[in-house]
């Protein structure tokens, strides 16, 4: 860290801090004799330092940032023109643009896109035909399976009904046999 003498003024310290910094693309470059403090020059930082004598001065070289003063709109426009004039990447003259070539390339790109779209639509139509055949085949197959399931259920119900009617006949015969046995017992 550099040692700074207490003899140097705050203005000199600020000036040295700004000299070490690279030039800003927004702010105009500072000249060594230029007043960095604007309207505050009349008060002076030395007078402030005298009133603040009891406070220790900071040691080291601190970077200080200065807020730019507002400019009028004409000054802003002029400074932008100056920056544009200084910029090496700004061309001085633009070459004429070939709008006919641009339009031809645009129409060619559109026709290519239309051709690709037509190809995709044709492919989609063939795939839809295959899908319809598959869906119809699946539908017929499901219908056949449904008919077979229905026939199986009908057979099961018919067999269950026959079994139930046989049990009914059997039970009625058993009841008649008991009735005849009771009648024989009651007669004796």
pTM: 0.31
Dihedral, 101, 102, 107, 112 alpha carbons, nearest 10: 100
Q: What is the pLDDT of residues 29-82, one digit of tens each?
A: 555 555 555 544 444 444 454 444 555 555 555 677 777 776 666 665 666 556
Other CB atoms closer than 10 Å to residue 137's CB: what's the count?
10
15-32 pLDDT, tens digit each:
555 554 555 556 555 555
Kindly tell me the sign of the dihedral angle through the C-alpha atoms of 63, 67, 68, 69: negative
């Amino acid at each position: 860290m550099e040692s700074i003498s207490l003899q140097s003024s705050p203005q000199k310290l600020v000036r040295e801090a700004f000299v070490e910094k690279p030039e800003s693309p927004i702010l105009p470059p500072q000249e060594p004799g230029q007043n960095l403090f604007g309207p505050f020059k009349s008060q002076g930082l030395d007078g402030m330092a005298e009133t603040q004598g009891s406070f220790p001065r900071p040691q080291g070289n601190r970077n200080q940032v200065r807020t730019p003063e507002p400019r009028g709109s004409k000054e802003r426009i002029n400074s932008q023109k100056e920056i544009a004039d200084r910029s090496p990447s700004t061309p001085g003259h633009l070459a004429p643009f070939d709008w006919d070539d641009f339009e031809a390339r645009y129409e060619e790109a559109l026709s290519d896109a239309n051709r690709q779209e037509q190809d995709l639509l044709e492919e989609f139509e063939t795939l839809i035909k295959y899908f319809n055949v598959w869906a119809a085949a699946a539908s017929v197959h499901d219908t056949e399976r449904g008919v077979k399931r229905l026939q199986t259920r009908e057979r099961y119900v018919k067999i269950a009904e026959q079994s139930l009617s046989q049990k009914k006949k059997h039970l009625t015969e058993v009841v008649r046999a008991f009735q005849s046995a009771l009648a024989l017992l009651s007669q004796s």
